[in-house]
Amino acid sequence: MGGTRARVGQFASRETGQRIRLTAALAGLLLLLLEVPEARAVPSFARQTGMPCDACHSAGFYPELNNFGRMFKLNGYLWSAHEEQSYEPYPPISAAQSWSYTHTAKGQPGTANLPTIAFTENGNDNFSYPQQANFFLAGRYYGHLGGFIMGTYDGADNRWATDNVDVRLTDVRSIGENHTLVYGATLNNGPTVQDVWNTLPAWSQLVASEVAPGPAASPSIANLAAQVSGVGAYAFWDNFLYAEVTPYLNGKTGALSFLTTGNAKAPVTDGVSPYWRLALYKNAGHHSLEVGGVGLYDRAHQIGSHGPSNSFLDLGADVQYQWNSKPHFVTFRSAFIWENQGLSAAKAAGTASNGTNDLHTVQLWTSYYYYDLAGLTLSFFDIGGSRDPLLYGPAPVSGSRTGSPDTVGGFVQLNLLPVSRWFQQHWPALPMTQVALQYTFYGEFNGATSNYDGSGRSASDNNTLYLLLWTPW
């Protein structure tokens, strides 16, 4: 429901999950022994452009984009070192895999059933290989058609599914003597997947554990990823003004349902869900600045795919500033999203106390990166909204004793590229592995500091140490 609509996953037995991971581990070790070309970010993009990962990503750290990366995406992933032909000489295929370790301050009931290689009896230590295995069809497909298609094996859910998809048909026109217009269509599977600034939900949380406890509430714009599908139109005037409108449809059935293959469809949207985006952007010298607004309106069925529905209106604002002066790269990002929830169907069904609720989320990020070596990110987030004892009811770990979604916290994150381009000059077979170490802390969780869930758990019990290794091929 609105901010409380949790992702649905099916867990296999621990024994089955261990067999899958051990097989994947052997395959990964085999790949490490093979002589492979220099790997960067999404390697198919690197092959197409002939450029290293720091050409598109902030100091080389995927997936945060710099100015060149944003222009590459807005222009349909078409730019190439082979401009003399309308197709690429190599198929735009690549892959990646990630390992992770999660430690929570206090164990979680039921986590021993997760399909992982190791989980301690108290349920607060998890090693997952792979956390994810990713496959990409990413780059220029033909002529003016390009895209980013991602398929993922998710270790926490033990399933394969379609992940982020953004396929574009684009063109550029000169208007008069001094003006340019980039315009096109985007086929994608969730609001903000197509966005080029790392402030909105699809790309804002660049590193996060999949097994650590999370807040009960989040806005609809963050919950519809891989749940819906749509075709939208956008335009970028003079590299300054960006505008987009994309209508989304339920991803459970219909001609575009292939964009959500493998994902459990919850919620099921009712009718058309319009999404809109407006942003002002300026890049000059070492500096770039974006200020924008975003909105989404959708209705979701209370139960299944028919019958009464609830409505959700999301309105947001964001800002991003970047300073890029090699070897230093600094980014400041901020986003605010407010949601109005019309819960008449939920109230009639007895799952919400109020007919109308509101929810807001605020997040700030500040990052410093040293090119191809290390980066540090500090973040603060605040989630707040209406008190609703039925919508946010007591439950171990995930519930709220007070009926409030209020959550306050932050994280500190260290990123490393231990195998930089300098090392690859000497050992070209080594992939461009990225390492991230993150510590997330909470001052308030689901409405309280202590005994927030009604079962004796404190907000600080959800503090999480998370280690991620991400390797592209």
Rg value, the chain, Cα: 22
Of all residues in the chain, the percent with pLDDT exceeding 90 is 67
Q: Tell me: the pLDDT tens digits for 74-122?
A: 999 999 988 777 777 888 999 999 999 999 999 887 655 555 555 555 6
Neighbour-count burial of 167, counting CB atoms closer than 10 A to its CB (0-12 exposed, 13-18 middle, 19+ buried): buried
Residue 419 Cα distances to 19, 367, 375, 424, 432, angstroms = 30, 21, 14, 7, 6
pTM: 0.88
Q: What residue segments make up the domains of the chain, in order of their start?
A: 10-472
Q: What tokens appear for 2 in the block?
A: 């609105």
Residue 29 has pLDDT above 50, yes or no: no
Of 134, 136, 132, 110, residue with least CA distance to 123 = 110
Query: What average pLDDT does the segment 433-456 reach?
Result: 96
pLDDT value at position 418?
85
Coil, helix or strand at residue 53: helix
pLDDT value at position 254?
87
Q: Tell me: the pLDDT tens digits for 125-173?
A: 888 877 889 999 999 999 999 999 999 998 777 889 999 999 999 999 9
Identify the band that residue 386 occupies on the pLDDT scale cut at 50, 70 and 90. very high
Coil, helix or strand at residue 357: strand
Q: What is the DSSP letter of 6?
A: P
Query: What average pLDDT does the segment 366-377 reach?
Result: 94
Q: What is the DSSP letter of 288?
A: E
What are φ and ψ of residue 430, in 5° steps? -80, 130
Query: What average pLDDT does the segment 187-202 reach?
Result: 96
pLDDT value at position 34?
33
Q: Please state, rounded to an integer, the average pLDDT across all residues of the chain.
A: 87
Q: Tell me: the pLDDT tens digits for 46-75?
A: 889 888 888 899 888 888 999 999 999 999
Identify the band that residue 17 occupies on the pLDDT scale cut at 50, 70 and 90. very low
Of 92, 22, 102, 153, residue with least CA distance to 463 = 102
pLDDT value at position 244?
98
pLDDT value at position 347?
97
Whole-angstrom Cα distance, residue 74 to residue 237? 11
Residue scoring higher pLDDT (318 or 34): 318
What are φ and ψ of residue 45, in 5° steps? -65, -40
Alpha-helix residue ranges (DSSP H) falling in 108-219: 201-204
pLDDT value at position 4?
39
Buried b (16+ CB within 10 A) or exposed e, 63-91: bbbbbbbbbbbbbbbbbbeeeeeeebeee
Would you say the C-alpha torsion 14, 19, 24, 30 has a positive or negative sign?
positive
Residue 152 Cα distances to 132, 155, 461, 471, angstroms = 6, 9, 30, 14
Top-level class of domain 10-472: mainly beta
Question: Residues with Cβ < 8 Å from 367, sequence gap 6 or more?
Answer: 58, 64, 329, 330, 331, 332, 333, 375, 376, 377, 378
Query: What average pLDDT does the segment 412-434 reach?
Result: 78
pLDDT value at position 369?
96
Identify the band that residue 177 occupies on the pLDDT scale cut at 50, 70 and 90. confident
